[in-house]
Amino acid sequence: MKWFRKPKPEPEPVPAPKSAAKPAKSAAAPAPRDERDSSTLLTGDATEDTRSLEILLDTIAAVTANIDLDAVLRDIVDRSLQVTRAERAILLLGDAPDHLTVRTALDKDGRALTGELQWSRSLVRKCLEEGVAVRSVVQSDQEALELGQSVYDLKLRAVMCAPMRARNRTVGVIYVDSRAMRREFSARDLALFGAISAQLAISVENARLHADSLEKVRLQKDIEIARRIQQHLLPPVPQDLSGLDVALRYVAADKASGDTYDFVPLSGGRLAVMIGDVTGHGVGAALLTHAVQAALRSYLELLDDPNEIITRLNQRLVLGVETGNFMSLLLAIVDPAAGTLQYVNAGHPGLVLVGAQGVQVLDKTGMVLGVVGDQTYKVSPKVPLRRGDLLFLHTDGVDEAMSPGREVFGANRIASCLGKSRSQSAEAILGQLEGELRGHVANGGFEDDFTMIAVKLS
């Protein structure tokens, strides 16, 4: 703490000769109605200066120790009333005169002020625009009207407000007023009020940052819980399937993914393989993917017509999903015994068939889901399969993966890698492709979720 030394007495002036003319007495200049903040916190009066320092230090200690935002705001208003002995105190949060909201308002007895509150908007505007504490002593109805209709209506006689600034930004205004004729806010009141408001602003900002950090931690916990739930709900890769070798790669860009997939064994040794991608990623997308996964699994258990399954699923999404959200989906039904494939591709990256004849991307059969309610989806004709043929399903996070130089991985790299590794197992094929994919993005990382499924006829 700085020590304040009592100033040394100035030497007494030498008396003027008696013959010198006495200066004429001048009338005292009237105090200006509006005053800015000034450095008059210490007035030289030991009692008042001690009280000012005690109030300032006590306020700093109290609000600094509190990080609960609501408690800090209440304490700010309480102490403003204590410091100024005003009748009302109002805390307004915001950074511009036209964007202020009342957060806390109390009377001198600590009771909350309710209803539509009025205050001197002109003085508050002046305070914010000039960035300093201001006061006004109202000595007539005309002066009250000049300060605003609210001052006149409330019969206010003393008004004071100070900006609350922290980290080079305005967080609000603390405002006090009084109707008592005997109460006038002095220059010392203004200086003390301004000094306290600066500390209060820091406390408000600290409390806000603390609240934001708690909210961030809570959201991170929610996302982690969502990730765990998603990992639990995602189906395992089926093993020991007669005539089929299946492998999977699934990577979420966020802790929760907008990609989904499923493997559903059907009658006659057939296997339904689904892969889908909801717009966006994160918790909301993850919730939608699992709703689709559950609905599709139910339809597959009840229906044997891929046309009707995907048409019903689309209608369900149109009715239940907000406009602007949609989903691409690919459903492939593989029959290893008959050596056939049928699929419905609703706006999803193309199903890749790799065989002795080369690499072929099969055509889409319809638009994305969740956009047009009366859309009818058609299943493809049966595609013949031979032993050793490979089906590759993926989301757009694979071909759109970016290198540090902003070059996409692309369909050509996918085709080249699949063609070279076709003779390997499904797991080895995906391992080879994932290695090339990670080499492509290098240290840039993946900007989107990606899922890859390999199904090979063995």
**pLDDT tens per residue across span 298-328:** 899 888 899 999 999 999 888 877 666 788 9
Percentage of the chain exceeding pLDDT 90: 30
Would residue 116 count as lying in a domain?
yes
Would residue 225 count as lying in a domain?
no
Q: How far apart are CA 379 and CA 267, in angstroms?
A: 18
Q: Which amino acid is at 382?
A: K
170 and 289 together in one domain: no
Pick 181 or 424 by higher pLDDT: 424
> Which pLDDT score is estimated for 281?
55
Would residue 22 count as lying in a domain?
no
Would residue 163 count as lying in a domain?
yes
| Lowest-pLDDT choice from 170-179, 188-197, 410-419, 449-458 | 188-197
181 and 72 together in one domain: yes
**pLDDT averaged over every residue in the chain:** 78
> Which pLDDT score is estimated for 269?
93
Pick 188 or 425 by higher pLDDT: 425
pLDDT at 416 over 90: yes
> Which pLDDT score is estimated for 344?
96
- Averaged pLDDT, 356-379: 91
Q: Given 211, 243, 265, which residue is the final one in a domain?
A: 211
Residues 135-151: tens digit of each pLDDT: 876 666 665 565 566 55
204 and 238 together in one domain: no
> Which pLDDT score is estimated for 245?
96
Would residue 179 count as lying in a domain?
yes
pLDDT at 347 over 90: yes
250 and 192 together in one domain: no
- Averaged pLDDT, 68-76: 70
Environment class of 417 (CB within 10 Å of its CB; exposed 0-12, middle 13-18, buried 19+): buried
Pick 155 or 384 by higher pLDDT: 384
pLDDT at 424 over 60: yes
CATH code of 115's domain: 3.30.450.40
288 and 187 together in one domain: no
pLDDT band at 226 (very low <50, low <70, confident <90, very high): low
Would residue 88 count as lying in a domain?
yes
Q: How far apart are CA 181 and CA 158, in angstroms?
A: 8
299 and 404 together in one domain: yes
> Which pLDDT score is estimated for 331?
96
Which H, E and C letters describe the chain, residue by residue?
CCCCCCCCCCCCCCCCCCCCCCCCCCCCCCCCCEEECCCCCCCCCHHHHHHHHHHHHHHHHHHHCCCCHHHHHHHHHHHHHHHHCCCEEEEEECCCHHHCEEEEEEECCCCECCCCCCCCHHHHHHHHHHCCCEEEECCCHHHHHHHCHHHHHHCCCEEEEEEEEECCEEEEEEEEEECCCCCCCCHHHHHHHHHHHHHHHHHHHHHHHHHHHHHHHHHHHHHHHHHHHHHHHCCCCCCCCCCEEEEEEEECCCCCCCEEEEEEECHHHCEEEEEEEECCCCHHHHHHHHHHHHHHHHHHHHCCCHHHHHHHHHHHHHHHCCCCCCEEEEEEEEECCCCEEEEEEECCCCCEEEECCEEEECCCCECCECCCCCCCCCCCCCEECCCCCEEEEECHHHHCCECCCCCECHHHHHHHHHHHHCCCCHHHHHHHHHHHHHHHHHHHCCCCCEEEEEEEEC
254 and 356 together in one domain: yes
| Lowest-pLDDT choice from 242-256, 364-378, 380-394 | 242-256
Would residue 25 count as lying in a domain?
no
> Which pLDDT score is estimated for 30?
39
pLDDT at 88 over 90: no
pLDDT at 34 over 50: no
120 and 269 together in one domain: no
pLDDT band at 230 (very low <50, low <70, confident <90, very high): low
197 and 265 together in one domain: no
- Averaged pLDDT, 27-44: 46
90 and 150 together in one domain: yes
Would residue 451 count as lying in a domain?
yes
> Which pLDDT score is estimated for 10?
46
pLDDT band at 7 (very low <50, low <70, confident <90, very high): very low
Residues 143-180: tens digit of each pLDDT: 556 556 655 666 777 888 888 877 677 888 888 888 76
Into how many domains does the chain fold? 2
Q: How far apart are CA 359 and CA 24, in angstroms?
A: 108
> Which pLDDT score is estimated for 234?
75
- Averaged pLDDT, 430-455: 88
Q: How far apart are CA 133 and CA 174, in angstroms?
A: 9
pLDDT at 29 over 50: no
Q: Given 211, 226, 243, which residue is the final one in a domain?
A: 211
- Averaged pLDDT, 428-445: 89
> Which pLDDT score is estimated for 121?
84
Percentage of the chain exceeding pLDDT 70: 67
> Which pLDDT score is estimated for 187?
74
CATH code of 287's domain: 3.60.40.10
239 and 175 together in one domain: no
Residues 245-265: tens digit of each pLDDT: 999 998 876 655 678 899 999
Its domain, for residue 338, covers 234-457
Q: Given 211, 245, 265, which residue is the final one in a domain?
A: 211
The phi and psi torsions of 5 (rounded to 5 degrees) equal -90, 140
> Which pLDDT score is estimated for 95?
82
273 and 194 together in one domain: no
Q: What is the pTM of this model?
A: 0.55
